[in-house]
Structure 1
Amino acid sequence: MMSMSYGVTPPSTLEEKIEWLQLIRSSNVGPITFYKLLQYYGSARNALGALPSLTSSGKSKIHIFPKKEAEKELRALEKFGAQLIARGEEHYPPLLAHIDDAPPLLQVVGNLAYLKKRTVAIVGARNASANGRNIAQDLARELGRSGFLIASGMAKGIDTAAHEGALETGTIAAVAGGLDIIYPRENMKLYQAIRDQGVMVSEMPLGSEPQARHFPRRNRIVSGISRGVVVIEASLKSGSMITARLSQEQGRETLAVPGSPLDPRSKGGNQLIKQGATLVETALDVIEALERPFDPPDISRIPPAAQEIFLPRIIPEPLTKSTSGELPALAAEKKNLSSADDDARLYVKELLGPSAVCVDDLLRQSRLSPAELNSILLEFELAGLVEWQPGNRVALIS
C-alpha cells in the first residue's frame, strides 16, 4: 500500500480504521487536527493515547470515542448497506482528497463507481423560481449526458431540480445528517431514487439529525468533490454563496447563471459574475470552462514559516509501556507540548478573533517557536475554543 501524495496513508486493517473512527469522533477533533495528530504521532492509536495530555494544564477533559461505539457504528453501517471509506482508499472521491480539511472518513451508500467520474456541482436557492428549477434540471441533464456526475446537497429548490435532472446519468448527494435521515421530508422519493440510482455521502454517523452548523461542512464536501460549482439563484447571504466561496478557496472553477437585478435570488450569482465567475447560459458554457487546465492544490506544500509545526514525528511500533504505564515516546511529547506557559496562551488567545487569521501571522506576532504555537493551538481546539479554516487559518469560536 502506497502513501498518498497529500501525506496520508489510509488504514491498512479494520482495526486501524476503527482507531481512525475513534479519533475523528473524539471531542473537538476536527479534520485538520485529526491529520496533525496523525502526522505528529504516526498513527491514530498513538494519537488516542496522547489526547488526554494535550489539553491546557489538564483543565479540560477530552472525551475519547469508545472502541465499542466505533464497532457499533460500523455494524450499523453494514446493516444499512453503506460503507466507511477512508481518505486515501480506492473509492474516496479523488478531488475531495486534495482539500486540507477533507473528511478522514466518509459514509457512502449507492454506486461507488460514480465517485470516480468527473463531477460538477449545481447549487442554489431553496425557494427557487420555476424558471430557476427548469434551468437547473436542464443543465444537469445535459451535463450528465456529456459525461459529468452532478453533485448537490439534496436541499429543496435548485438542489432537488439538479438531482432530478441527473438521475438517468448519475448524481451524488452530500447530506448534512446521517445517511438514514431524509431531509427535507418532502424529498423522500428523491432520497430513495438517489440511493438506488446514484450515490450519497456523509461524514456524520447514522441517526444524526441535520443541524445548522453541519451545513457549511456539507457544502465544503459538495465543492470539494467537484471540478466546478454552478450557482443558480442565490441571495447574497446564502449557503450557496458559502459553497461558491469554498470552491474558490479550493481552487475550483466558479460559475453562475445570471438573473434579473430585481430578484433578490439573483444577487449572489450576479455578484459572482462581476467578480470573475464564468457566466453560464448553456451546458456548453460549463463544459468549455471545465476544459481549462486544472491541477488540484497540493496541500502537502506548507508555507516555510509553518513547516516545523506540521513535520511528522513518526513513533516506531510496537511500543512498550514504562513502569508508570505511559508510553515513553508519548511521555516525551507530553513534556514538549506542555512547554508553553499561561502567559503565552493568554497572548495567543488575544491575537485570535472570530475572523480567521493565518498561522504564519500568529507565528510572527506571538514570537513563539513553531512548536510552542502548535501546542497552544492544539490545546485550544481540543478544548473547543478555536476552529481551523481552509488556507492554514484559525479562528476563535464565539
Structure 2
Amino acid sequence: MEKQELQAWLRLTLSTGVGNENSRKLLAAFGSVQAIFEQSPATLEQMGSAKLARAIQTKPPNLTAQLQMTLDWLQAGDDRRVVALGDTAYPSALLDIADPPLMLYLLGKQTRLLDAPSKHSSSHLAIVGSRNPTPQGETNARQFAKTLAGANLCIVSGLALGIDGAAHDGAMQAGGNTIAVVGTGLDRVYPKKHLELAHRIAQQGMLISEFPLGTPPLTANFPKRNRIISGLSLGTLVIEAALQSGSLITARLAAEQGKDVFAIPGSIHSPQSRGCHALIKQGAKLVETAQDVLEELNLPARDTAECMPAVGEANPWPGSSSLAALTTALGFDVVSLDTLQARTGIETPLLQAQLLELELDGQVFRLPGGLFQRRADA
C-alpha cells in the first residue's frame, strides 16, 4: 500500500463520528478511499448528514503521528502488512460478516493463513473459552487444539489468558497453524504474560488486529474483535465459559454468521460449564472428542484414540503446595492421584496427606478406583 493511500485509510478510520458503516457507504459511492476526501461538503451531506460531512473534512489531530508510526512499524520487518477493505489480500471470509473491519494489521510469517481454504491451505476453527479455566478445561483446550491442528485446521483464538492461550500453544505444539486476533494495536501485547506466546505465534502463525498501532487494551475492544475470530472460522468450539462470558459473544456471532457452534460439556457443579451447557440447550453441537468436530465439518477423521481429550495429561500447575491451591487444581471433575500430581508437582506423600485433610474437612470426596472429586460448594 502506497503512503498516500495508507494516509487516507488512517484518516478515515481515525475520524471521529464516521464509523465502519458510513465508511463502507462512502467507499461504495466514490470508489476509493482517497476519492472520499476529494468530495465537496455538499456532496458529502447528500451521503449522510452535515455532521458526517464535517467529520470527513476534519483532519484527525493525531493523523501525522499515526502515519509515521505505521510506516516505521511496516519498515521494521518483512513479516508485517496492512490490508484494507477492497485489497486483493483482504481475507475473503470477512467479506461475508455483518461488519467487516476497514483495515487489518497483520504480523507473522504465515501470510497464506488468510487465504480461502483450498487443497494447499488449511481451514480455520475458532477455539475460545474462559480466562480462568479449571485445570481440566485448560488441558482439554490444549489437547483438542493439538489434534485439530494436526488435522490441518488452523486454530483461531484471541490470545487471552486461559483457554485461548492453551489453544494457541496446543496448535503450535502439534506443528500446526494458529491465528491470534487481538484487541490492541499490534505493537502491544496483552496480557503481558503472553509476550513469549505472541512472539511464537508471529514465527509460526499470525497476529491480526483492526486497531491502530498504539491502541491500549480497552475493555470495549475485546468483544468487538470476536466477530473477526468467528468470521475467519468454519465454526467455533467453546471450552468452558461462564454464563456472562465473552466466549458466548463469539458463539452468538458465529451462529449469526451461519457457522457451526460446538461446546464441551462439564460438571454441573462448575460455574465454568454453565455457558457451554446453555449453548448446548440452544442447539450447539455437544462435543466429546476432536473427531466429533472433524465429522461435523466433513473433514477427514483421525484415529479415535488421537481425538480423545487427555484426561490425565500432564499440565504443570503454577500454584503452590497449599490446600487452597490443591482445591483449585482439583477442579470439579473426577480426577486421579496421578493427574493431581501432574497438575501440582506435589510429591506423593504430601499430596496424599493434603487430600486426606481435605477429605476429613468435607471438601473432597474419595471415590472408588482411587479417584477424588471436589465438593460442589467447596
TM-score of the alignment, normalized to the shorter chain, above 0.5: yes
Residue 65 (structure 1) shift: 3.6
> Does residue 270 of the first structure (1) align with residue 280 of the second (2)?
no
Aligned to 2:104: 106
Unaligned runs of 5+ in 1: 1-10, 293-398
TM-score normalised over the length of structure 1:
0.66
Checking the alignment, whether the CA contact within 8 Å between 1:91 and 1:112 is kept in structure 2 is no
> Does residue 127 of the first structure (1) align with residue 126 of the second (2)?
no
Residue 108 (structure 1) shift: 0.2
- Between structure 1 and structure 2, the one with the greater Rg is 2
CA change 1:40–1:89 in 2 (3 A) is closer
Give distance in 2, aligned partners of 1:91 and 1:57.
34
> Does residue 75 of the first structure (1) align with residue 79 of the second (2)?
no
> Does residue 91 of the first structure (1) align with residue 80 of the second (2)?
no
> Does residue 288 of the first structure (1) align with residue 295 of the second (2)?
yes
Identity of aligned pairs, percent?
A: 41
CA change 1:193–1:137 in 2 (3 A) is same
Counterpart residue type for residue 114 of structure 2: L
Q: Deviations over 1:156-215 (max 9, x none)?
A: 000010000011211100000011211111112111111111100001122211101101
SS across alignment from 2:184: coil
> Does residue 36 of the first structure (1) align with residue 32 of the second (2)?
no
Give distance in 1, aligned partners of 2:177 and 2:18.
33
Checking the alignment, whether the CA contact within 8 Å between 2:107 and 2:207 is kept in structure 1 is yes
Moved over 6 A (4+): none
> Does residue 156 of the first structure (1) align with residue 150 of the second (2)?
no
Checking the alignment, whether the CA contact within 8 Å between 2:243 and 2:274 is kept in structure 1 is yes
Select 1:142's aligned residue among 134, 140, 147: 147
Counterpart residue type for residue 187 of structure 2: D
Give distance in 1, aligned partners of 2:179 and 2:32.
31
> Does residue 260 of the first structure (1) align with residue 267 of the second (2)?
yes
Checking the alignment, whether the CA contact within 8 Å between 1:27 and 1:64 is kept in structure 2 is no
Q: Deviations over 1:41-62 (max 9, x none)?
A: 3332332345965475559952
Give distance in 2, aligned partners of 1:44 and 1:236.
41
Give distance in 1, aligned partners of 2:188 and 2:177.
21
SS across alignment from 1:95: helix
Q: Deviations over 1:109-168 (max 9, x none)?
A: 102022223100000000001100111001101110101100000000000100000112
CA change 1:178–1:288 in 2 (3 A) is same
Higher relative contact order (CA 8 A, sep 6+): 1
Aligned to 1:199: 206
Counterpart residue type for residue 264 of structure 1: P
Checking the alignment, whether the CA contact within 8 Å between 1:73 and 1:205 is kept in structure 2 is no
Unaligned runs of 5+ in 2: 116-121, 300-378
Give distance in 2, aligned partners of 1:27 and 1:91.
27
